[in-house]
Amino acid sequence: MNYALYVTHPEVILDPAEPSTRWHLSDRGRERATAGGRSAAMQPIGLIIASPETKTMETAKLLAGSGKEIVVGEDTHENVRTSTGLVTALEFEALMDALYARPKESAAGWETLDGTTRRIVSAIDAALARHSDRAPIAFVGHGTVGTLLKCHLARRPPTRDEDQRRMAHPGGGNVFGFSLDDRRLLSDWVAMEDFDGLPG
């Protein structure tokens, strides 16, 4: 079966002195990514396309082990939130609720959900067209863009209940799979260290 995996970065070190794009994985995140690289579904993958952020590139390298090529995926970064910088957990939840409630509108200057969805779907389609001969393939990215991609593939409207943190591991580091032949969702979020392959 021709398939792709979408994997989110696991736990990071929150560093308010640095933009989130330059945050590093924590020790726990590194352990989980290394374990995720041993997944049966990861073994046939020869190419990993990763968001250019530090935490996702670190995740990709740990998932890759040896023998898998890593390339940077254009426009695969997280939902843009630079207008506020780091906010408290309560503020973050309130802003995310606002985005999902009104997907065509910005919350505090953040990228709209509709804009994020269009960007990530277009980026995935372009990457797959460019590397169509490299399947199966893995993408390493982020929770919000991953949730929006997953909902698009499942033909479901995006809701917060679809979020990886509510469905699988709350620290991130989750994965879903989809078919490349018909862009069909094959699995929902599963923690990377528990992901033991795709159905049929």
**pLDDT tens digits for range 40-80:** 888 899 999 999 999 999 999 999 987 899 999 999 999 99
Q: Are 2 and 134 in contact (CB under 8 A)?
A: no
pTM of the predicted model as reported, rounded to 2 decimal places = 0.96
Taking the C-alpha atoms of 151, 74, 144 and 199 in order, what is their torsion angle to the nearest 10 degrees?
A: 50
Nearest to 129 by CA among 45, 199, 49: 49
Are 172 and 28 a contacting pair, CB within 8 Å? no
pLDDT 10s digits, 5-38: 999 999 999 999 999 999 999 999 999 999 999 9
Half-sphere exposure of 185 (CA within 13 A, CB side): 16
Domains of the chain: 3-194 (3.40.50.1240)
Alpha-carbon torsion (34, 169, 54, 2), positive or negative: positive
